[in-house]
Amino acid sequence: MAEVENSPTAVTTQIEHGRGVMESHILRLHPGQEIKSTLEQYVKENDLKAAFIITAVGSVTKATLRFAHDFKTGINEIRTFHRHLEILSLVGTLNDGSHLHISLSDKEGRFGNVIGGHVMGDLIVFTTCEVVIGNTVGLTVHRPFDKATGFPELAVVSCCDGGTKATQIKQS
């Protein structure tokens, strides 16, 4: 029997990070409201610079999602669902081209089906959507294009003196 080598492969990773005081904002969205654009508007109107979703519960009647990239075909599949779906999880950041992922369940099947993906928009509230947004005071996030992934990716900036001076946090 041949031995299998179990030694880990060394990988160098750069991690964007920063520290600041967290504040929370609690919102309830109503039937017919589009979740992504409503949250982005709230973040902009309240000048939140490092906003993210802590938790969200509710239901939708429409959801447009992008699924993970298929490297064999080179296609990013985007699908729109027109039915009542329960929000199981909604996570992500809300600044500079927000990046949100969602898990949704339906009533089909014995135990229900779960779908999930990258929120493209058209996330329309059915009955309610209760969202808690966190914001890290003293930080700003933005999304410069990353050649390695082909997408705009998260970058964290520290705002030192009340937000008037910004310096890039050292990557480790």
Which residues, including other chains, have CB under 8 Å from residue 169's CB and lie 6 or more apart?
16, 17, 18, 156, 157, 158
Q: How far apart are CA 95 and CA 101, in angstroms?
A: 14
pLDDT of residue 49: 93
**Residue-level pLDDT at 8:** 39
Query: Cβ(82)–Cβ(145) under 8 Å?
Result: no
Integer Cα distance of 112 and 110 in angstroms: 6
Report the topology of domain 24-137: 60s Ribosomal Protein L30; Chain: A; (3.30.1330)
pLDDT at 171: 43
What pLDDT, on the 0 to 100 scale, is given for residue 96?
Answer: 83
* Structural contact between residues 133 and 49, judged by C-beta atoms closer than 8 angstroms: no
What are the residue ranges spanned by the domains of the chain?
A: 24-137
What are the helix (H) ranges across the chain?
Answer: 35-45
Residue 152 makes CB contacts below 8 A (sequence gap 6+) with: 96, 97, 143, 144, 145, 146
Tens of pLDDT along the chain (172 residues)?
Answer: 444 443 333 333 344 456 678 899 999 999 999 999 999 999 999 999 999 999 999 999 999 999 987 767 777 889 999 999 999 999 999 998 899 999 999 887 556 789 999 999 899 999 999 999 999 888 888 888 988 888 888 888 876 544 434 444 444 3
Pairing outcome for strands 51-66 and 145-146: unpaired
- Evaluate if pTM is beyond 0.85: no
